[in-house]
Structure 1
């Protein structure tokens, strides 16, 4: 089986060494390159075409936000996982625009990073819990100011989207809803088309904006998932 090639972009050498150590514990991973600034990250991504780029934000020269934007444009086959120490709102709300596939804070464990890397490679969205909370709070306030929006999703599509937001994989969604994986994929395609998005992360952000997903719902679903 081909390995998942990974590139690291972080201006702290010790951080890159730690991340590499965690990732290389997995036989399916191969770290193919490391850089310490955004411009070099873009150039290396173009040259190496890694499957996953783990990207810091605060770097000299070109920051991780702009570097991600350029990588997603020049290397559409690359998945970009933002890994940063900062959960500033200007970073979080830039995610749909730059095309990032996930956003995590550096307080996660090595195992959580491994799981998140695998998840974005599978095309799944990854958001740090505290980031989700910030998004919900901000977007609810915006929705309260401008409540005039339509609700184009069917009941089943909203069920699928809620499970996606809770971190369920397509197979898990299919099992939970007693449908086939192909049916889940079809629902996701409809959801993306209706919301005008191209990724699970963007769909979740749109659902949060419209207040279709509630924090209590996610917590209870995550707890049930752990128990099961």
Structure 2
């Protein structure tokens, strides 16, 4: 099994070297390049084609959130993991809305970092206890026609959305419903399109908010 290619982006050389050494200690990952700013990150993204970008918010030039948007425009499939010492909910929300797949503290331990990166690579998103609560609180009051959008989902899509809201991973959903993981991912793509959510992170938030208001989604077979 080939290793997961990672691009590290941060303004501080010591931070880059530290995380590179840490990730190189795991057999699952291969750091293919490092970058100090958004322009260099985009260049490495095109040349090295990483599967995961791990970056700080203090990226010189465009700034962290704009850098996330630029990376997302360049590659819709790359996973973006933010490492930041700033744990204020507003910064978390801005990062997720811009297209981040996970938001982690710089004080994260090695095992949690490894587990999060594997989850992001596998399922497209990962929440930690520190990020899930604040983000849900921020979006709780936002109404975007949830009822109308939910009514466009098929029965199977509503089943999958309900399981996603309960934080089940793709493989677990596939096992529970007796279908293949690839089929689950295809359903998720259609759910994203119908709900207007660009990725799994925002779909989880959307689903949790809707479940909270409606008291649950139908999951009958």
Deviations 1:21-77 (A, max 9, x none): 221122231111112233322232233221111011023322221111111212334
Q: Which residue of 2 aligns with 1:179?
A: 178
Cα pair 2:123 2:170 within 8 Å, conserved: no
Q: Which residue of 2 aligns with 1:26?
A: 26
In the alignment, structure 1 segments of 5+ residues that lack a partner are: 218-228
Q: Which residue of 2 aligns with 1:196?
A: 196
**CA distance 1:148–1:74, shift in 2 (3 Å):** closer
Q: Which residue of 2 aligns with 1:212?
A: 211
Cα pair 1:51 1:121 within 8 Å, conserved: yes
**CA distance 1:43–1:213, shift in 2 (3 Å):** farther
Distance 1:45 1:204 in 2: 27
Within-5 A mapping of 1:48-127: 48-95=48-95, 97-127=97-127
* Alpha-carbon shift at residue 183 of structure 1 (Å): 5.1
Distance 2:34 2:77 in 1: 19
Distance 1:148 1:22 in 2: 42
Cα pair 1:11 1:59 within 8 Å, conserved: yes
In the alignment, structure 2 segments of 5+ residues that lack a partner are: 217-221
Deviations 1:186-225 (A, max 9, x none): 54244223212232112112224x34259xx9xxxxxxxx
Distance 1:39 1:203 in 2: 29
Which secondary structure does the structure 2 equivalent of 1:32 belong to? strand
Distance 1:171 1:84 in 2: 29
What TM-score comes out, normalization by structure 1 length? 0.77
Distance 2:80 2:33 in 1: 14
Distance 1:158 1:133 in 2: 23
Which secondary structure does the structure 1 equivalent of 2:211 belong to? coil
Cα pair 2:8 2:34 within 8 Å, conserved: yes
Distance 1:185 1:172 in 2: 12
Q: Which residue of 2 aligns with 1:129?
A: 129
Is 184-193 or 154-163 further displaced after alignment? 154-163
Deviations 1:133-178 (A, max 9, x none): 11221222335xx888434346654453343345432221233x34
Cα pair 2:5 2:30 within 8 Å, conserved: yes
* Alpha-carbon shift at residue 184 of structure 1 (Å): 3.1
Cα pair 2:84 2:106 within 8 Å, conserved: yes
What TM-score comes out, normalization by structure 2 length? 0.79
Give yes or no for the alignment of 1:10 onto 2:10: yes
